[in-house]
Structure 1
Amino acid sequence: MTFEAEITPGMAPAEAVELGCLVEEAGFDRLGISCVALWPDTYQLQALIAARTERIHIGSMVTNPYTRHPAAHASALATLQELSGGRAFCGIGVGAGLEELGIDYPRPVRTLRESITALRGLLAGDEVTLNGQVVKLDKARLIRPPAQRVPIAIGTRSEGVMKLAGEVADIALVGARHLTPEIVARYRRWLAEGAARAGRDVDEIEVLPRVTLCVSDDEELAVNSVKRFAAHYLDILGDYGPPVDPDRRRKIVATLDDATGWYFDLNRYDPPEMLDLIDADLARKFAVVGTPEQCADQIRELQTLGFAGVSCNLAAVNRGSMYDGLRETIEGSKRVLQLLAS
């Protein structure tokens, strides 16, 4: 079983590094640091965590192909791979927070394909010339390419990008949040179509579900902490989400107009009516949430869908700070992993 954890670094860098060390102590196999525009820098935090850890693999979860040229990504990844002794990976997708930069995710599949092509070549130590529609390189070569191969993970909710993952990724992250046998089968079909197009064996691609994970001994507090997540994903998934009474759905989506801040930011504002409209059952359609015992049971249910692991976007319990809330989830996750291993 492979267990990934993602930390969104809405805190002092030293606190994010400490949490990264706690994720390793909890027993996770991989650690992703969110790449959010205007937030603390993902690659600098990854390098700092690599210097303080020994076992866990470290990467972005996920970075984007828009704010950094693939050559800049390749340089950062080569540095991280050397510093960590071969523990780096690259999680890449469309990204988050680009609206404030005036970027509207143009040509995502083409941009990702050209960026990953450039990344692969540069990280392999090749001289790369690429005259793409998005990415341009002219006899470019890394000065210190990594000695070990850097795995590439693609996270997505879209058909086009999942097919691309089948073509080029080592790891595919199913970003639907709401997962049923039918939805999982759809993503696996897209992945297989992409793999077939590239002449690859789809079974060689590691497939993990992306879930929001919030753990606390206080079940009610944990559930309330992810209700904004549930409203967000109910809105963006539309017909692919769980069945909800149309009037109730409309009211939930309407509360997002009054909400402020990122759904994963503890400093956000969630309208009180949102908390009333979303009960524990609906929250659990989009998140693994509750006590350690409850979360372990929910992950066991995910395993019945054919996954050999899980990629967890750690959600902060509503405490005094994002650091305190994420620390509580990480400490609870240690117990979850122990239960799953028993």
Structure 2
Amino acid sequence: MTSLAYIIRPSTPPSRIIPLARAVESAGIEEIWLWEDCFQTGGISTASAILSATERVRVGIGVLPTPLRNVALTAMEIGGVDGMFPGRLVPGIGHGVQPWMAQVGARAASPLTLMREYSTALRALLAGERVTTSGRYVSLDDVALDWPPARPVPVPVAATGPKSLRLAGEVGDGVVLEGSVGLPGLPAVHERLAEGRAAAGRLEASFPVIQFVSGGTGPDAAGRLRAELTAWGTDVADDAALAQYALWGDAQALADGVRRYGAAGVDTVALQPTEDDPDLERLISVVGAAQELLRTA
């Protein structure tokens, strides 16, 4: 069954995050997804606060920008959070938005090289290994975590372009896809991921696909979604085109949309509200009802 998660955007005022997270858990939704945008809320701090304020919900971060974070620090934070909340953190990593990385003096000349080095070192550290490596971007000298996770922590990789998708298939424990992929882009995504997994001999390993999808409910939902997606450069001139990139309507409509993504090879649909959604609690309630429909189908 394809699962349905809810996204708390990093533009959400910090004072609103915990009430929304508790509403998500109360609605029966099993996962919350976050991400880091410069210069809004931090992924690890927000995830930790949500995990502390809830009892069962898992928190995915899609994603932590690798140029912004030393790999040892990322490993320390993941290991610490997983030790406090075992199995409830899914920490994704990505290239970061390049203009923002340049703005803070962290832009990498070769994001693909950085990702390969970073993901390899991070997975080794989280596995409890002692790591020495000297790469173009990642250098570690006899580094090991005092508190590595007691069990494997999956680290999915965000990717959009063909080269990034192949690399995600090689080095990631899954992939995080942004909303611009939509249903039309999924066949090419799966093809590139399979190429990377085959090159690494990983075709038999579990490889979840997490897809961010814009969503909403209420009579004005389609209009809000169309305006936001159009502003991002996606051509959604009519409802048929919009339905390729967004989900809206009541619980049944959302559940039916999630099933379409499931049929296209997506394991988790993370529903992203529009920036101007007037009633996030109402949307969370509808997403929870859609999740129940998916469970009982």
Instruction: Give the TM-score of the pair, scaled to structure 1.
Output: 0.77
Please list the CA deviations of residues 44-73 of structure 1 after superposition, one character each: whole Å capped at 9, or x if unmatched: 111111112222222311111011111111
Aligned to 2:233: 234
Aligned residues: 292
Given the alignment of the two structures, is residue 301 of structure 1 paired with residue 264 of structure 2, yes or no? no
Aligned to 2:145: 142
Q: CA deviation at 1:190?
A: 0.8
SS in 2 for 1:152: coil
Aligned to 1:288: 247
Conserved? CA contact 1:92–1:154, under 8 Å: yes
Aligned positions of 1:90-109 closer than 5 A: 90-96=91-97, 97-98=100-101, 100-101=103-104, 104=107, 106-109=109-112
SS in 1 for 2:67: coil
Aligned to 2:159: 156
SS in 1 for 2:136: coil
Conserved? CA contact 1:4–1:311, under 8 Å: yes
Aligned to 1:9: 10
Aligned to 1:179: 183
Q: Distance in 2 between matches of 1:202 and 1:27?
A: 31
Aligned to 1:74: 75
Aligned to 1:212: 214
The 3 A distance-change label for structure 1 pair 204 and 118 is same
The 3 A distance-change label for structure 1 pair 115 and 72 is same
Aligned to 2:221: 222
Q: CA deviation at 1:194?
A: 0.6
Aligned positions of 1:38-49 closer than 5 A: 38-49=39-50
Instruction: Give the TM-score of the pair, scaled to structure 2.
Output: 0.88
Unaligned runs of 5+ in 2: none
Q: Which structure is richer in relative contact order (CA contacts within 8 A, separation 6 or more)?
A: 2
Conserved? CA contact 2:67–2:107, under 8 Å: no
Conserved? CA contact 2:28–2:288, under 8 Å: yes
Q: CA deviation at 1:225?
A: 2.2
Q: CA deviation at 1:110?
A: 1.3
Unaligned runs of 5+ in 1: 236-241, 245-277, 320-324
Q: Distance in 1 between matches of 2:60 and 2:4?
A: 14
Conserved? CA contact 1:233–1:286, under 8 Å: no
Percent identical: 27
Q: Distance in 2 between matches of 1:100 and 1:222?
A: 34
Q: Distance in 1 between matches of 2:210 and 2:261?
A: 10
Structure 1 range deviating more: 149-158 or 201-210? 201-210
